[in-house]
Amino acid sequence: DLIAQRFDRRDIVRGGLAIAAIAAAAPITALSSMDAKSKEAAASVFGFKELPIGSDDTHHVADGYDADILIRWGDPVVTGAPQFNANAQTAEAQKKQLGYNNDFLGYFPMPGAAKPGEHGLLVVNQEYTNEELMFPGIGAPQRKKDFSKITKELAAIEMAAHGGSVIEIKKTTGKWQVVADSQYGRRLTADTPIDISGPAAGHARMKTRTDSAGTKVKGMVNNCAGGVTPWGTWLTCEENFNNYFTGTAQGHPEAEKLKRYGAPASQYNWGQYDERFDVSKDQNEINRFGWVVEIDPFDPASTPKKRTAMGRFKHEGAAGIINTDGRYVVYQGDDQRFDYVYKFVTGAKVDTANPGANKDILDTGTLYVARYNADGSGEWMPLVHGKGPLTTANGFASQADVLIDTRLAADKLGATKMDRPEDVEANPKTGKVYVMLTNNTRRKPGQEDKANPRANNEFGHIIEMTPNGGDHAATAFKWEVLVTCGDHKLASTGASFNKATSKDGWFGMPDNVAFDPDGRMWVATDGNKKSRTGRNDGIWAMETEGPARGTSRHFFRVPNGAEMCGPCFTPDGETLFVAVQHPGEGKGSSFAAPATRWPDFKPGMPPRPAILAITKKGGGKVG
């Protein structure tokens, strides 16, 4: 039975399995010598001195690096934007200023730039808002949301602070700056006109009272992570869209479908001022949220598109790679406990010579959901109407139904229920795909499987997937756990970092991931804090190859209350942009008495989510 089950080196060494029983079949000699090697000081692909962990009210980077503030919430983005005034905010001003809670960052070199790594467009997701820190007089967060102070104007500011931003940035005399009054400066909000495209566009379930064609929607919300395509567009992902809808599922014709997405979650009171956010008044509007949105950052007048072929769920990110056969493959996670890992494969090949020819390539293709088998093999199962159980008899009358109800379709296929899939991204150098699984404390003993091996998974883990034959379009893959997170010196955590990892080097809750131009992996975390892991969130550099595999090293950390988002490298590897989200968030923290006033530290100024540029003192590649 043991042999029939998949075993890996860590299982054997750690678990104390009956080695003798499997000696006949397993390459034990090789395994043991590899473990011995990992105990040696394995050569590292990283050359920086590790940052000590900590928890305080500001950010820190490893010795020898600068981490400079590039732009903060409220700073001008669009020409004519007023300067930020925390005490006199308006929706009109916010529509032209950087939005709140910067998450994903994408960098596009300026075409024709002498140095592509020193001049480009930076795109920014603005995920959500913290009213208690943004607005005077709201007070500290309450257990139950109190909307009595959220006036129509404050709700309008919230809507304007969501969505995304495009800024032009340039490095002059060694320092990055936002180009003022750039022709590219753009804000996208919860009101921006967006086209709906792909198989669900125009379907009856996408039609509303104000859009009888079912092809145009206003706005995008909860834009978490995303991707940058080789044809120069930005993919930005709607995650917890259920939070923005109010009303009741009771009596709603699609009550069961709403339930599968946790809607309406009523975390905002926009529905009080704009009926489309009230499911009791506008039954279909919610079907128009929860998608991947594609935007051309170089054309501020362009209309973004919600690409329905890529599925509807709580999208974390959408990181793609050009496959060996030329098609584009986008990996996606659905960030919820017990939800799934997806990929989308385009029908057409990417035209690398003519970027404009790929304009609507994401409208046609196949969406797949992952099953992780116990033997280390895996299968991508197509979400195609008429295939397997995805039939009219089972409630899927068309491909539009399959896509609008992606989660329900994936349930039917028996996909593997994961521990909150966040970023899923291929290392462009090796082609191996990494899945960040942030945590899942609701997984009970007995609910473990090989891909989600810990009950009460407090600290998350990272899975490595290898497409069969290096073909990202293949339906078969192999996988193994790269690392289970947490303090690996404590046996009780079941954490499996390489023994070479220091007390500062381990982390919990992997969330976003980035690969630098040399194919080295950098992980951003969400949920570390002093009381939980003895450290704030930040960036950790992670070894993936050779004896050092599974060793991580601390590089950057955020101020108290913040989450680390958006790691993004310039193509020369000399700048790492990071997004510090919700600094000062937490119990008892408010506009009047915030946990930190980062990054301005001025009396009366609330904390402000901000983007930083990290560079090496004296120049050179980061890390």
In the complex, which residues of this chain contact Ca ion (CB under 5 A)?
A: 422, 511, 526
Amino acid letter for position 535: R
CB of residue 360 vs ligand FEO: minimum separation in angstroms?
A: 27
Nearer to Ca ion, 464 or 511 (CB): 511
Listing DSSP states for 307-354 in one string gives EGGG--S-B---EEEE-TTSEEEEEEEB-SEEE-EEEEEEEEEP-SS-
Nearer to ligand FEO, 317 or 559 (CB): 317
Distance of alpha carbon 434 from alpha carbon 436, whole angstroms? 7
Nearer to ligand FEO, 483 or 579 (CB): 579
Nearer to ligand FEO, 345 or 436 (CB): 436
β-strands 421-426, 186-188 pairing: unpaired
CB of residue 110 vs ligand FEO: minimum separation in angstroms?
A: 29
Nearer to ligand FEO, 75 or 335 (CB): 335
First to last CA, the chain: 44
Q: What is the largest CA-CA distance in the chain?
A: 74
Distance of alpha carbon 77 from alpha carbon 71, whole angstroms? 9
Number of shown-chain residues binding ligand FEO (CB under 6 A): 6
425 interacts with ligand FEO by CB under 6 A: no
Q: Which two tokens stand for residue 406?
A: 């992606």
Amino acid letter for position 442: R
127 binds, among ligand FEO, Ca ion, none (CB under 5 to 8 A by kind): ligand FEO
Q: Is 441 left (phi over 0), alpha (psi -120 to 50) or beta?
A: alpha
CB of residue 336 vs ligand FEO: minimum separation in angstroms?
A: 9
CB of residue 223 vs ligand FEO: minimum separation in angstroms?
A: 9
User: Which x/- pattern over 124-163 shows residues binding ligand FEO (rule: CB under 6 A)?
Assistant: ---x------------------------------------
Nearer to ligand FEO, 48 or 522 (CB): 522
Location of structure tokens 């947490």: 486
CB of residue 315 vs ligand FEO: minimum separation in angstroms?
A: 9
Peptide bond preceding 355 in cis form (omega within 30 of 0): no
Nearer to Ca ion, 156 or 524 (CB): 524
458 binds, among Ca ion, ligand FEO, none (CB under 5 to 8 A by kind): none
CB of residue 191 vs ligand FEO: minimum separation in angstroms?
A: 21
274 binds, among ligand FEO, Ca ion, none (CB under 5 to 8 A by kind): none
CB of residue 3 vs Ca ion: minimum separation in angstroms?
A: 38
168 binds, among Ca ion, ligand FEO, none (CB under 5 to 8 A by kind): none
CB of residue 416 vs ligand FEO: minimum separation in angstroms?
A: 18
β-strands 365-372, 341-349 pairing: antiparallel
User: Which x/- pattern over 569-608 shows residues binding ligand FEO (rule: CB under 6 A)?
Assistant: ----------------------------------------
CB of residue 291 vs Ca ion: minimum separation in angstroms?
A: 17
Non-local (6+) Cβ contacts of 30 within 8 A are: none
483 in Cβ contact with 462 (< 8 Å): yes
Distance of alpha carbon 350 from alpha carbon 319, whole angstroms? 15
- Residue closest to 154 by CA, chosen among 169, 166, 137: 137
285 binds, among ligand FEO, Ca ion, none (CB under 5 to 8 A by kind): none
Distance of alpha carbon 106 from alpha carbon 320, whole angstroms? 13
239 binds, among Ca ion, ligand FEO, none (CB under 5 to 8 A by kind): ligand FEO
Non-local (6+) Cβ contacts of 425 within 8 A are: 317, 319, 331, 433, 434, 513, 514, 515
Location of structure tokens 């195609």: 384
CB of residue 239 vs ligand FEO: minimum separation in angstroms?
A: 5
CB of residue 105 vs ligand FEO: minimum separation in angstroms?
A: 14
Residue 512 is classified by DSSP as E
Nearer to ligand FEO, 527 or 607 (CB): 527
Distance of alpha carbon 38 from alpha carbon 36, whole angstroms? 5
CA neighbours closer than 13 Å in the CB half-sphere of residue 508: 20
206 binds, among ligand FEO, Ca ion, none (CB under 5 to 8 A by kind): none
Among 274, 294, 335, 504, binds ligand FEO (CB under 6 A): 335
Nearer to Ca ion, 340 or 396 (CB): 340
Positive or negative: CA dihedral 18, 19, 25, 30: positive
- φ, ψ for residue 259 (rounded to 5)? -60, -40
CB of residue 123 vs Ca ion: minimum separation in angstroms?
A: 16
Non-local (6+) Cβ contacts of 518 within 8 A are: 45, 429, 573, 621
Nearer to Ca ion, 379 or 423 (CB): 423
Nearer to ligand FEO, 260 or 337 (CB): 337
11 binds, among ligand FEO, Ca ion, none (CB under 5 to 8 A by kind): none
Positive or negative: CA dihedral 222, 225, 227, 232: positive
465 interacts with ligand FEO by CB under 6 A: no
68 in Cβ contact with 613 (< 8 Å): yes
316 interacts with ligand FEO by CB under 6 A: yes
Nearer to ligand FEO, 363 or 422 (CB): 422
Among 282, 296, 379, 422, binds ligand FEO (CB under 6 A): 422
Peptide bond preceding 141 in cis form (omega within 30 of 0): no
Distance of alpha carbon 153 from alpha carbon 73, whole angstroms? 18
Among 239, 254, 379, 574, binds ligand FEO (CB under 6 A): 239
Location of structure tokens 């690996």: 488
402 interacts with ligand FEO by CB under 6 A: no
CB of residue 579 vs ligand FEO: minimum separation in angstroms?
A: 11
Nearer to Ca ion, 198 or 317 (CB): 317
Location of structure tokens 């039609």: 207
222 in Cβ contact with 240 (< 8 Å): yes
131 binds, among Ca ion, ligand FEO, none (CB under 5 to 8 A by kind): none
224 interacts with ligand FEO by CB under 6 A: yes
List residues binding ligand FEO (CB under 6 A).
127, 224, 239, 316, 335, 422
